[in-house]
Chain A
Amino acid sequence: MLNQVWISLIVIGLLVAVGKDINDEARNTYRNGVPMTATLHVEEMPTAFRETWQGELIIPRETFDQFYGVQSAPSEFHQPITLTTNSSGKTSLILAVNDSTPAFWKEMATNSGDNKKLLGSVVSLHFSEDKSTAQISFVLAKLSYVKLRAVTRAALDYADSAVTISLGLIGVMALWLGVMKVAEEAGLLKVLTKLLTPITSRLFPDVPPDHPAIGAMIMNIAANMLGLNNAATPLGLKAMEELNKLNPKIGTATNAMCTFLVINTAGLTLVPATAIAIRAAEGSSDPGIIIGTSIFGAGCATIAGLVSVKLLERLPRYKKDLLPEPSSSGANNG
């Protein structure tokens, strides 16, 4: 299943990216090479000695929307512009992205790989009599194969962030592994384990009731319940390591491992701290109102997850994964 899902995410992603890019090329979504006309408002008149000058582009929204075939709010906007004339007389322009920049241009800036500005060149420039405004005609830098570029960038960025995330775990990981080791040596985990044996022996029938894995799993679930995310992951990994000691076939998940993982992915917590914090930051009159609803939602997820994990583990296709490799013995006949 994991193999199929993994390859589907990649293949579907790539196919959609190619499809969107072909569509963009065919429809010329970004109007490559098509000049746009607008009013330019300049503070200071360019002279022969001035190579760079600044001004504002004034474009009515309707003109913009019609040009790109998009929908945006119907009012005119003022876009800061920097013009530079080089020695051969060609004028290039930079549009700095700010709050008044239309969403479509922002998107184009992001797609070009530079979030802050759009580049282009001037086709023609005619100043009015009082020299304060001009009719400008310009084209923006060609933008093509946007999605394929984005996919490439994302692949590299995400690979990078995987390392950042993993290495970021080292500190808390070491901290909790140290604390757990002390608790284990002191026999504290045994006490915890005994208390909850009636529940854990049902959930994890393959794990001996006094095994250290049970203690670590209880600690992990308790940390999750209290919304202590920093503690929950290291404790969960510790529990996985303990469960792996009971694993006859390293590299394949046991039933207990799958059950434990599903409890974690369902994420039952008494304190959905992140969601509450964001609600408070957005000015909610009652940020904590979602505690009850979240417990219900995550409770549904946990129950559904546990039921399905227990049913799925009986399926022959998952059962046969647990059998020893055929090469090691001839026990794989049934």
Chain B
Amino acid sequence: MVELFRNILNIISVAAIPVMFFLFLGWGFVRKVKVYEVFVEGAKDGFHVAVKIIPFLVAMLLAIGIFRASGAMDVLIAILSPVSNLIGMPAETVPLALLRPLSGSGSLGLMTELMKVHGPDSFIGVLASTMYGSSETTFYVLAVYFGAVGVKNARHALPAGIIADIFGMLGALFICRVFFGI
């Protein structure tokens, strides 16, 4: 049953983009849209959007880069270790939980390292990959999505995003302890 579900998901994720192209462009052609002209018309904004993001992403990555390179993460982990011990989160996975919202490539590296050291099927390996899959890189998404439309005042998006991250990490820990716990 799980296997079937997984296979279906696999097929969908492989076929989704070709099917979308076929359906959207084909439907457009049937509905007598000048497909080529309209496509080019839409696509010409691609450059502007990408360029618009640059200042936002530079600002965001600058702060994250300084924070990571300084070793401030180690200090934060030390401060949080009593809390993580209390909720039964293995100390090795605390850095991953903290880095996940900040840096996509950084947390990918940490997850890979944890799996290399502890094995992908160990509790820490399963927890690390679940944590990675349980959230997105909040700060990056915020910079890119709001940057594209020039939003500087993010209002409550950041606190809500961080609350979501915290619950994502706690949810990952909870479900892994229930199913794979020691």
Contacts and interface: CB of A to CB of B under 8 A. Distances in A.
Say whether A and B bind each other.
yes
Interface of A: 1-2, 5-6, 9-10, 12-14, 16-17, 20, 147, 150-151, 153-155, 157-159, 161-163, 165-167, 169-175, 177-183, 185-188, 223, 226-228, 231, 233-234, 236-237, 240-241, 243-244, 247, 250-253, 257-258, 260-262, 264-267, 269-276, 278-279, 282-294, 296-305, 308-309, 312-313, 315, 318, 321
Contact of A155 (B10, B49, B66, B135): B66
Given A236-B145, A278-B108, A265 B138 contact: yes
A269 B121 CA distance: 21
Contact of B112 (A165, A257, A282, A292): A282
Interface in B34-59: 35, 38-47, 49-51, 53-54, 57-59
A186 B135 contact: no
Interface string B136-168: 111001101110111111111111110111111
A305 B141 CA distance: 14
A250 B120 CA distance: 47
Query: What is the interface of chain A mostly: helix, strand, loop, or mixed?
Result: helix
Nearest to A169: B50
Q: Is the interface of B mostly helix, strand, loop or mixed?
A: helix
| A161, A237, A257, A293: residue with the most chain B Cβ atoms closer than 10 Å | A293
Contacts, number: 380
A199 to B, nearest CB: 18
B42 A181 contact: yes
A276 B144 CA distance: 25
B171 to A, nearest CB: 3
Contacts of A2: 142, 153-154, 158
10 contacts: A162-B57, A173-B49, A182-B24, A231-B17, A258-B157, A266-B135, A274-B108, A297-B131, A298-B133, A298-B135
A278 B96 CA distance: 15
A5 B25 CA distance: 43
A214 B124 CA distance: 40
Contacts of B80: none
